[in-house]
Structure 1
Amino acid sequence: MALYVQKYGGTSVGSVERIEAVADKVKGFRDRGDDVVVVLSAMSGETNRLIGLAKDIQAQPNARELDVLVSTGEQVTIALLCMALHKRGVDARSYTGGQVRIRTDNTHTKARIQDIETERMRADLDAGRVVVVAGFQGVDDNGNITTLGRGGSDTTGVALAAALKADECQIYTDVDGVYTTDPRVVEDARRLDKITFEEMLEMASLGSKVLQIRSVEFAGKYKVPLRVLSSFVDGPGTLITIEDDNTVEKPVISGIAFNRDEAKLTVIGVPDIPGVASRILGPISRANIEVDMIVQNVAADQTTDFTFTVHRNDYEKAQKILEQVVAELGARECAGDNKIAKVSIVGVGMRSHAGVASKMFDALANENINIQMISTSEIKVSVVIAEKYLELAVRALHSSFNLDSSDTVSE
């Protein structure tokens, strides 16, 4: 008998019929003797609907009251699932984040979990009950309802699995696993049987939308085996786990991630003096704009061109800030491009194989795709290219690294 924490996303519980299907799936685990804790999101679209109601009243709603409002979405689904389980003869009990005592800090709308009380859940499990917990929410030390930010139900699921020392945390969603890249871009994209926490974290941070980044960080920190499965199609899914001794003999590249939401800014002709990077990026940081890739080139006239990327939504805001910076530094001008994209190859096998970056660059050169920026880490290589070449680049790299084949070790 195993203990599973199962998280079902908004599409998985998007209607009464789908909630009934989740109940059937949970009953199947109970029938074979497994203990189950279920974490649910709100019905798909419900959180957005509630936020819309709030903004109809107040353009910038009070964060505490907004948390009180949006947390009701999960209360609906946990109660309905318990009713569906009761109808099937399965004993079940629902809990809000506050009732099960998921204690967080007091940062409303993006709280972080600090502690979880497990006694009540363990008592229910010992009594043969299915425990159904509202995802995405908790309470602070003063009893105020808090929420964990968008995608926070994934984090709830992983945190409960860690606290309960579950055998596995299963994330049920509308895809049947983690793929080598987006199947909508590459028809031959292949579902991975296994991927490491490091690789999944890179994939999530680089644009893969399968899992929320914080949930992967949490799973890696507490070594919680994490499996991504489909709510609608039976299958083994993808296991996300620690790197084992045999990983280096497996694919050099596990996947290709990409992000269309990038923009590039360059301050041209900056005096090459100490502290110039701080004087450029300091105002950007104080405006709460996140910077991704950075490149600095020193010219023969002892000036430098300083280039960095930001989220496309922050492009115009960052441009206005840099106009002032250019004047203060005596730089020549600020140039920008919001029609770029970032493409990344990810794989722990890079640690033990040379020439991976060169192979990537060759594949792009063969398609006449110009690389504008390059960033590397131990297990990834990212490049910035013109957005119009994005899908061509992904397909070329997928083919070059033989990711459509299960035998993908490349020298």
Structure 2
Amino acid sequence: MALIVQKFGGTSVATTDRIKNVAKRVARWKKEGHDIIVVPSAMSGETNRLIGLAKEISATPDPRELDVIASTGEQVTIGLLSMALHEEGLKAKSYTGPQVRVLTDSTFTKARILQIDDDKIRKDLADDYVVVVAGFQGADEDGNITTLGRGGSDTSAVALAAALNADECQIYTDVDGVYTTDPRVVPEARKLDTITFEEMLEMASLGSKVLQIRSVEFAGKYKVKLRVLSSFQDEGEGTLITVEEEKQMEQPIISGIAFNRDEAKLTVLGVPDRPGIAYQILGPIADANIDVDMIIQNLGHDGSTDFSFTVTRGDYNKALKILNESAGKLNARGVVGDNKMCKVSAVGVGMRSHPGVASKMFGVLAAEGINIQMISTSEIKISVVIEEKYLELAVRVLHKTFGLDQAD
């Protein structure tokens, strides 16, 4: 008998029929003797609908009240799922995040989990209940409802698994595992049997939408065994996310090609090359709560420098306005930008012991006439920023070059 946390995404609970199917799946695991905690998302599209209602009232909704509204989607799902489990002959009890007490900080719409009180859940499990906990939400020290940001149900599930020392956390979604890249772009993409926490974290941060970044961070930190499975297939082992030492000895150098279309590039031209200039440029950007990704500084011959960085497309206009307003203070020649960029990345722990991956990647892209505008590297990934029109070509050729196609 094992303690298992099962998380079901929005598409898995999109209709009452699908909720009934989830209940049948949970019932099979329960009848095998396992203790089960289920963490469902809101029904597909519901969170967007709720946020849309809020924006019909206010163009800039108060974050605290927005969390009150957005958290109700999961509350509906946990009630419906508990009822469906009752219909399967199981004892089931639902809890919102605040009822469990998932304690978070007070950063509304983007809260972080600080602590989970597991007393109620352990008591219910001992009484043979299936415990259904709303994902995506918690409460701060003052009892205010908070949400964890989009995709936060993954984080809720992993945090519960860590708090309860669960044997496995299963993430059920509309795909049957983690693939070497998006099969919609590369039909030859392969499902991975295993991937390391490090690789999955890079893949998630670089554009793979299978898991939320914070959930992978949690799982890696607390060594929670994480498995991605399909809600719509009864068979298959999915993909196990594990520590590097547990992978097979012989692994491909590259495990996957990730990409992100949500990229915009900004360049401040001809600013003085002096200490503190990076802070003068990026300080106001940070104050506006804009996340910066890649950064490049190119020194000119006249003592000036061009300073480039990337942001999400949603933050592009805001960042461009800030830079234009501060260009005079910076003594810059001007500000230019392009919001039709993308990022393509090769990820793999095999890079640590195999030199030459970067040159191979750059050579392949050059052969296809793809200009690299920015480069970022870590121990296990290489990312390039290129024009969006080249995205699919770049992903296909890199996937094939690094031996990831099924035929290979």
TM-score tier after normalising by the smaller chain length: over 0.9
Unaligned runs of 5+ in 1: none
Once residues 242 and 388 of structure 1 are traced to their aligned partners in structure 2, the CA distance between those partners, rounded to angstroms, is: 36
The answer to whether structure 1 residue 113 and structure 2 residue 106 are counterparts is: no
**Preserved contact between residue 189 and residue 406 of structure 2 (Cα < 8 Å):** no
**Preserved contact between residue 248 and residue 348 of structure 1 (Cα < 8 Å):** no
Which has the higher mean CA deviation after the structures are superposed, 86-95 or 388-397? Answer: 86-95
Matched length? 407
**Preserved contact between residue 247 and residue 348 of structure 1 (Cα < 8 Å):** no
Q: Where does 1:210-225 land on structure 2 (aligned, <5 Å)?
A: 210-225=210-225
Once residues 134 and 262 of structure 1 are traced to their aligned partners in structure 2, the CA distance between those partners, rounded to angstroms, is: 32
Q: 1:23 to 1:62 in 2, by over 3 A?
A: same
How far the C-alpha of 1:177 sits from its partner, in A, is 0.9
The answer to whether structure 1 residue 323 and structure 2 residue 314 are counterparts is: no
Once residues 86 and 191 of structure 2 are traced to their aligned partners in structure 1, the CA distance between those partners, rounded to angstroms, is: 35
The answer to whether structure 1 residue 402 and structure 2 residue 403 are counterparts is: yes
Q: Where does 1:115-134 land on structure 2 (aligned, <5 Å)?
A: 115-134=115-134
Equivalence for 1:175: 175
Tell me the TM-score normalized by structure 1: 0.95
Equivalence for 2:342: 341
Equivalence for 1:263: 264
The answer to whether structure 1 residue 88 and structure 2 residue 123 are counterparts is: no
Once residues 248 and 336 of structure 2 are traced to their aligned partners in structure 1, the CA distance between those partners, rounded to angstroms, is: 43
Q: 1:322 to 1:177 in 2, by over 3 A?
A: same
**Preserved contact between residue 351 and residue 378 of structure 1 (Cα < 8 Å):** yes
How far the C-alpha of 1:387 sits from its partner, in A, is 1.1
Give the partner amino acid of 2:12.
Answer: S
Once residues 245 and 41 of structure 1 are traced to their aligned partners in structure 2, the CA distance between those partners, rounded to angstroms, is: 30
Once residues 384 and 112 of structure 1 are traced to their aligned partners in structure 2, the CA distance between those partners, rounded to angstroms, is: 30
Once residues 396 and 283 of structure 1 are traced to their aligned partners in structure 2, the CA distance between those partners, rounded to angstroms, is: 39
Once residues 102 and 247 of structure 2 are traced to their aligned partners in structure 1, the CA distance between those partners, rounded to angstroms, is: 37
Equivalence for 2:286: 285
Once residues 374 and 6 of structure 1 are traced to their aligned partners in structure 2, the CA distance between those partners, rounded to angstroms, is: 38
Unaligned runs of 5+ in 2: none
Once residues 105 and 281 of structure 2 are traced to their aligned partners in structure 1, the CA distance between those partners, rounded to angstroms, is: 33
Equivalence for 2:242: 241
**Preserved contact between residue 266 and residue 306 of structure 1 (Cα < 8 Å):** yes
Once residues 161 and 194 of structure 1 are traced to their aligned partners in structure 2, the CA distance between those partners, rounded to angstroms, is: 19
**Preserved contact between residue 264 and residue 338 of structure 1 (Cα < 8 Å):** yes
How far the C-alpha of 1:251 sits from its partner, in A, is 1.4
Equivalence for 1:370: 371
Once residues 67 and 197 of structure 1 are traced to their aligned partners in structure 2, the CA distance between those partners, rounded to angstroms, is: 30
The answer to whether structure 1 residue 357 and structure 2 residue 337 are counterparts is: no
* Deviation readout 1:49-92 (Å, 9 max, x if unpaired): 22222222233333333222222211211111111111111111
**Preserved contact between residue 194 and residue 247 of structure 2 (Cα < 8 Å):** no
**Preserved contact between residue 5 and residue 169 of structure 1 (Cα < 8 Å):** yes
Other structure's SS at 1:38 match:
strand
Once residues 62 and 300 of structure 2 are traced to their aligned partners in structure 1, the CA distance between those partners, rounded to angstroms, is: 50
* Deviation readout 1:19-38 (Å, 9 max, x if unpaired): 01001100110111111100
How far the C-alpha of 1:191 sits from its partner, in A, is 0.8
Question: Aligned-pair RMSD on alpha carbons?
Answer: 1.6
**Preserved contact between residue 398 and residue 404 of structure 1 (Cα < 8 Å):** yes
Equivalence for 2:383: 382
**Preserved contact between residue 107 and residue 146 of structure 2 (Cα < 8 Å):** yes
Tell me the TM-score normalized by structure 2: 0.96
- Aligned-residue sequence identity (percent) comes to 71
Other structure's SS at 2:79 match:
helix
Other structure's SS at 1:99 match:
helix
Equivalence for 2:100: 100
Once residues 350 and 184 of structure 1 are traced to their aligned partners in structure 2, the CA distance between those partners, rounded to angstroms, is: 26
Which has the higher mean CA deviation after the structures are superposed, 60-69 or 226-235? Answer: 60-69
Equivalence for 1:200: 200
Give the partner amino acid of 2:340.
Answer: K
Other structure's SS at 1:327 match:
coil
Equivalence for 1:68: 68
Give the partner amino acid of 2:252.
Answer: P
Give the partner amino acid of 1:185.
Answer: V
Once residues 109 and 396 of structure 2 are traced to their aligned partners in structure 1, the CA distance between those partners, rounded to angstroms, is: 38
Equivalence for 2:295: 294
Equivalence for 2:34: 34
Equivalence for 1:232: 232
Once residues 61 and 383 of structure 1 are traced to their aligned partners in structure 2, the CA distance between those partners, rounded to angstroms, is: 36
Give the partner amino acid of 1:226.
Answer: L
Other structure's SS at 2:252 match:
coil
Give the partner amino acid of 2:187.
Answer: E
How far the C-alpha of 1:245 sits from its partner, in A, is 6.1
